[in-house]
Amino acid sequence: MTYEAAFHANTNLIDKLGTGNAHLAWTLALYLEEPDVATLASEALTDGPDDKKIDFIHLDTDSRRLVFAQGYRSDTKKEAAPANKASDLNTAAAWLVSGDLKDIPDRLQPIIQSCRTAIENGDVETIELLYVHNLPESVNVARELQTVQEHLQKVLANRSGLTVIARELGASKIESLFLSQDSHIDVKDEIICPSKVQFSASGQKWQAYVLSVPGAWLHQLFLKHGEALFSANYRGFLGISKRRRINTGIRASAESKPRDFWVFNNGITLLTGGVKQEKDTTRLTGVSIINGAQTTGSIGSVDLSKYDLRDVHVLCRIIQCSDPETITEVVKFNNTQNEILTWDQYSSDSEQSRIEKEFETLGHKYSRKRGVKQRADQISLEEVAQPVVAFSGRYAEANRGKNRIFESKQNYTSAFSGRKARHILFVYTLARAIDERRIELKKKSNNGTIISLEEDQLGLLRNLRFKYFLVAVIARTLEVILGQKINRETIGFTEDAASASKNSILELVATWSSIVECVLAFVATHLDGKDVVRLMDDDAEVDKIVKTIEGIIYATRNNLSLGKFPEMVAPT
């Protein structure tokens, strides 16, 4: 299947957003490895007039990167995308980092302020400027993007350790992204390594080879392919700076003691699709460095005009494997020696196995592994963690990012231990309903049919932290809404309601609509004119809001249109 065919299969997304916005969101979900395209679209697409040339903004606190993009989609075949759309990223970058907030549309102010604060606090290590389109890549666009990158890098020159990257994601690169989901290998070229195999071993689904490779070869490989070399790695090269002392040390040892580098360094591990041993060389079919990204990047950053890498050699292990499950485990266990704060470590956990089986019993697909989902009725581990934590009342913890939840066994256990699939489904569909409401309000705003109260609601939803705050508020008011005593840790859909044969994921999301609209309206009215960011950090103020809203709902609950929702809810 081609990427275009996979994209057009997302009919619901295209109907909601239009082909252009849907293509931009779908592609960037692929690029960012975000599983839920609809959620990403609702949070990151800017929409509307006077967008300051920013079509998409995504602040990823887990990976410490800021991504903003311009999108273009053509319905006819052309040789290249218009280069002026790439140069628009210059305007976008200027507004993002230095434009007067008063001149920025209200709908963009919260996210741009959040981005600026993150940059000021050193919480962003990489800014990525992307031009996304469905046409062939071109030299003209590449030149424009180089100019944009250099300009923003100069503007941010005083920010130590902050890297700016500008990329064109055209048809061929998107196709490569799409195909690499299964293979884990982005660099598919035939690579000739100027070293011969010294040792080999094999297993049922893999073969492995040990070599000693020249540092100059690694340097050349990194310069040519860059981040694409690390497609199967948990993380890429983190850069050279005072904040990256380990990488600075690696480069320094390659520069000052090249002959000793082999014994100073742990070496690297490559994943490949094929190995052909020749007399004095080894031919590889595609490569991805699954361990040793920092070593490779550090050697790749050596200035060859000042230092000679001829005496630098690196221990290299090459693994040939094509089985996706085996590759996933190889990548995982080759990285656990490093501090990898990611949900991938828990994909084989017994709790996740239990949850997956419970979802299977219900007829729903639950994925324990990272990746962009291809169907709207699929749920993944990485999507449910924050909603589950927020629903239990810990919305501040949910807002710190997915990795914070998985960074310790205690946090992970608190989030998932004993949670039933019906409860997770219940909470997940609530979070999805909030995303759907945000998309609906954005659409109203764009076509000029939104009323003032709804403008207030949309303003709140544009705040990155508000979604999980609203999840927590709805959880606390649910007892009054339903008119029955509930336990927030165990409440869920009934087995009958949760069954895929009775209700799809989208149908369950729809059952939350009236509740989300009701509570959101009450919250927006109560917060009118207040400092929302400060208020969300004040437990006493939050308690007052919840009690006020509970009182209003209790007095008007007979007028609430809940449909069959109360009958669909039961303890798990």
Query: Degrees (nearest 5) of the Cα angle 95, 99, 101?
Result: 105
Residue recorded with tokens 């490949």:
272
Cross-strand pairs, 378:
365
The mean per-residue pLDDT over the stretch 95-119 comes to 83
Map residue 241 onto helix, strand or coil.
coil
Q: pLDDT tens, 272-319? A: 888 989 889 999 888 888 888 888 888 888 888 888 899 999 999 999
The CA distances from residue 425 to 166, 359, 389, 503, in Å, are 38, 9, 13, 12
Q: What is the residue type of 373?
A: K
Pair 200, 159 in one domain? no
Q: What's CA 382's distance to the chain center, in Å? A: 10
Output 169 or 563, whichever has higher pLDDT: 169
Q: pLDDT tens, 337-396? A: 444 445 556 766 788 889 999 999 999 988 876 555 555 567 888 889 999 999 999 998
Q: pLDDT tens, 414-447? A: 889 899 999 999 999 999 999 999 999 988 888 8
- Spatial strand order of the sheet with 126-132 comes to 56-60, 65-71, 126-132, 163-169
What single string gives the DSSP state of each residue in 495-506? HHHH-TTT--HH
Pair 190, 273 in one domain? yes
Number of C-beta neighbours around residue 323 at 10 A: 12
Map residue 73 onto helix, strand or coil.
coil
Last residue of a domain, one of 145, 178, 211: 178
Pair 42, 163 in one domain? yes
CA–CA distance, 64 with 145 (Å, rounded to integer): 22
CA–CA distance, 150 with 152 (Å, rounded to integer): 6
Cross-strand pairs, 228:
none
Output 101 or 19, whichever has higher pLDDT: 19
Predicted local confidence at residue 340, as pLDDT = 43
Torsion, Cα 256 261 264 265, to 10 degrees, reads 120
Predicted local confidence at residue 370, as pLDDT = 54
Angle between helices 19-32 and 37-44 (to 10 degrees): 110
Pair 99, 34 in one domain? yes
Total domains, the chain:
3
CA–CA distance, 230 with 228 (Å, rounded to integer): 5
Closest by CA position to 470, among listed 555, 546, 571:
546
The mean per-residue pLDDT over the stretch 554-572 comes to 86
Q: pLDDT tens, 504-513? A: 998 999 999 9
Q: pLDDT tens, 134-169? A: 999 888 888 888 888 888 888 888 877 788 888 899
What domain range is 508 assigned to?
345-571
Residue recorded with tokens 């305007």:
91
Please, where are the H alpha helices in 33-183? 37-44, 83-97, 109-120, 139-155, 171-183
Residues 160, 246 contacting (CB under 8 angstroms):
no
> Which tokens is 208 given?
């492995």
Residue recorded with tokens 């050193």:
122
Pair 238, 358 in one domain? no
Pair 275, 228 in one domain? yes
Residue recorded with tokens 């887990």:
62
Map residue 48 onto helix, strand or coil.
coil
Does residue 3 carry a pLDDT above 90?
Answer: no
Does residue 58 carry a pLDDT above 70?
Answer: yes
Predicted local confidence at residue 33, as pLDDT = 77
Map residue 206 onto helix, strand or coil.
coil
Average pLDDT taken over every residue of the chain: 85
Predicted local confidence at residue 535, as pLDDT = 84
Q: pLDDT tens, 172-205? A: 888 877 766 655 677 877 899 999 999 999 988 8
Does residue 239 carry a pLDDT above 60?
Answer: no
Predicted local confidence at residue 560, as pLDDT = 78
Predicted local confidence at residue 245, as pLDDT = 46
Predicted local confidence at residue 248, as pLDDT = 62
The mean per-residue pLDDT over the stretch 552-566 comes to 84
Pair 140, 7 in one domain? yes
Pair 451, 521 in one domain? yes
Last residue of a domain, one of 287, 306, 339: 339
Pair 13, 106 in one domain? yes
Report the percent of the chain where pLDDT is more than 70: 90
> Which tokens is 450 given?
């939104």
Map residue 367 onto helix, strand or coil.
strand
Highest mean pLDDT among 86-95, 287-296, 476-485: 476-485
Question: Can you give the C-alpha Rg of the chain in angstroms?
Answer: 25
Last residue of a domain, one of 339, 362, 381: 339
126-132 and 65-71: which strand pairing?
parallel
Predicted local confidence at residue 338, as pLDDT = 41
End-to-end CA distance of the chain: 40
Pair 272, 385 in one domain? no
Angle between helices 293-300 and 245-256 (to 10 degrees): 60
The mean per-residue pLDDT over the stretch 53-82 comes to 88
Pair 84, 212 in one domain? no
Pair 244, 357 in one domain? no
